[in-house]
Amino acid sequence: MDGLILIDKPQALTSHDIVLEIRKTLHIQKIGHFGTLDPLATGLLIIAIGKATKLFPFFSKEDKIYRGRIRLGFSTDTYDSLGKPISLEKQLLPDKEKILLAMEQFRAEVRQIPPPFSAKKYRGKPLYKLARGKREFQLKPCTIFIHYFELKSYEPPFLYFEVKCSSGTYIRSIAHDLGQSLGCGAHLSELTRTDVGNFRLADSFTLKKVKTLAEKGEFESFLIPLESLLPKFPKVILNETGATLTKNGSTVFPENILKVFPCEPSLSDAPEEKEMIFRLFSLEGKLLALAKRGSQKKSLCPFLVIN
């Protein structure tokens, strides 16, 4: 069994907890997730099964959309409601206009420092372990991209928001930094991930639903097969010789290629871009590998063999 499952993660469970539950349900060990959600957060978690785990680099870089709630008035050490307050509570809170103005600063390219309590590593060790041990460390800011950060409603001390951001963005840090900018302190109190690339929370399944369908043997109801993934890359159908070459990681030549979908651009008229990626398929319709252009004209060189 190979493919993706879109899971609606409940609160309190970690992303690893979800992986363990799916392993128990499907009796498969080779399972991972594409993008961690904190225990506080709910929403879309992409679970990879079997050979789909090899595709992590492509899905981990997708933009994400979140909806959530920020509590104004004080900051916490974890930057969310699970942490301890690290500032006195401010009773005087900013008005809506000041909040909108502050949120405008969180657009386009932003330099962000990860939360001290996070899985990000510092000199090989997770930050949360260093923070719990009260070890001192200084983090360098990371460059992220925020497409938009919108105020949905303001009900003091809570503001409700939606944000679309690049991979690697910590929404907890956005909440904390917004509080610092406003001068009143703030932390994240609720968070739901609604989108990862082209995948939507509306198409996801609860753990209970996956278990029920699996017990009935209706795996096709919740499993997105390998062959339908990464549709933005052209699909190349190979003959038997081409399939054998691909499985061995060898270069595939024009005489091994039966057809390319979409036909425009094809191997003949597509720009000679070295970084253009192709999906290589067998005659039986199985996804064999991902490939880039080879050094020889119109040849393809597999760089990620899947089957």
Catalytic residues, by residue number, are 38
Closest CA to 234 of 183, 268, 210: 268
Q: Distance between CA atoms of 52 and 59, rounded to whole angstroms?
A: 10
Q: Distance between CA atoms of 160 and 194, rounded to whole angstroms?
A: 14
Closest CA to 16 of 37, 40, 43, 41: 37
CB 55 within 8 A of CB 61: no
Closest CA to 186 of 66, 97, 83, 65: 83
Measure Cα distances from 306 to 66, 174, 293 in Å: 31, 38, 18
Please name every residue paired with 62 in a beta bridge, in sequence order, or none if there are none. Answer: none
